[in-house]
Amino acid sequence: NAGVTQTPKFQVLKTGQSMTLQCAQDMNHEYMSWYRQDPGMGLRLIHYSVGAGITDQGEVPNGYNVSRSTTEDFPLRLLSAAPSQTSVYFCASSYWPYRNNQPQHFGDGTRLSIL
Amino acid sequence: AQKVTQAQTEISVVEKEDVTLDCVYETRDTTYYLFWYKQPPSGELVFLIRRNSFDEQNEISGRYSWNFQKSTSSFNFTITASQVVDSAVYFCALRETGANSKLTFGKGITLSVRP
């Protein structure tokens, strides 16, 4: 089983460029989410989705867009990258609403640097 | 709003010492779930334990033990006879039930175990 797959693992962008971080899961999980991890800040929720066609904002949504056209995929888009978006990004998935006491499964992360 | 506080930011111990990582949470829900995750230097997030709010029984798994106390809203994690391989960042997290059901993380505790 692949679990949660994130691509790419590393990326360097210039300020103003756009890109999409990919996230796919093969566990038929309804709930998917994106976090960013910054030193001393823990993991902060960017956006999340409870099913195809449904997305909502988390704690730090500005500068990011998401969509959920299928159960399996939840891409994160940076429309105009800024140095403040330099971070490690994690995608996670879990069951919802039932069995939502189960732990979220995390991808291996994408390390993004904005120059 | 839900909140997780990990007041300790960095802890350094010598191998074989016992160490306790503190976690205090805030929630208005009566049903919620608490988690601990480990992030080793390689960067992935490893699920350690889940605790339901209605189950206050403490748990032991090898050298790891968890003390859940609803009266003080705490979910502390103790490593007995620490080893160098325990060096990592440890996150406590809270997930409420209901429509949002977001997972909120503390800022993490960096544990260094010296040989």
For residue B107, the chain A residues in CB contact (below 8 A) are 40-42
The mean-pLDDT minimum among A58-67, A82-91, B54-63, B87-96 falls in: B54-63
Query: Residue A40's pLDDT band (boundaries 50, 70, 90)?
Result: confident
Which residues fall within 8 angstroms of residue A19, CB to CB, at 6 or more apart? A11, A13, A77, A78, A81
Token pair, residue A92, equals 């996670």
CA count, 13 A, side-chain hemisphere, B81: 2
Instruction: Give the pLDDT score at A99.
Output: 63
Quick: pLDDT tens for A10-31.
999 999 999 999 999 999 999 9
Q: What amino acid is encoded at B80 in this protein?
A: T
Q: How far from the centroid of its chain's Cα atoms is residue A73's Cα?
A: 10
Print the SS3 string covering B26-95.
ECCCCCEEEEEEEECCCCCCEEEEEEECCCCCCEEECCEEEEEEHHHCEEEEEECCCCHHHCEEEEEEEE
For residue B108, give the DSSP letter: -
Q: What is the mean pLDDT of residues A72-94?
A: 96
Q: Which candidate from A35, A90, A103 shows the least CB-CB separation from B47?
A: A103
For residue A60, the chain B residues in CB contact (below 8 A) are none
Distance CA A71, CA A67 (A): 11
Q: Does A106 touch chain B (CB under 8 A)?
A: yes
In this predicted structure, the answer to whether residue A100 has a pLDDT above a threshold of 90 is no
Instruction: Give the pLDDT score at A67.
Output: 96
Confirm if A112 and A20 have CB atoms less than 8 A apart: no
Query: Residue A98's pLDDT band (boundaries 50, 70, 90)?
Result: low
Confirm if A77 and A18 have CB atoms less than 8 A apart: yes
For residue A43, the chain B residues in CB contact (below 8 A) are 91, 105
Percent of residues, chain B, with pLDDT higher than 70:
97
Query: Residue A103's pLDDT band (boundaries 50, 70, 90)?
Result: confident
In this predicted structure, the answer to whether residue B57 has a pLDDT above a threshold of 90 is no
User: For B51, which residue in chain A has the nearest alpha carbon?
Assistant: A101
Q: Do B91 and A96 touch (CB under 8 A)?
A: no
Mean residue pLDDT across chain A: 93
Residue A50 belongs to what H/E stretch? strand A42-51
Q: Which candidate from B50, B100, B105 shows the least CB-CB separation from A103?
A: B50
Mean residue pLDDT across chain B: 92
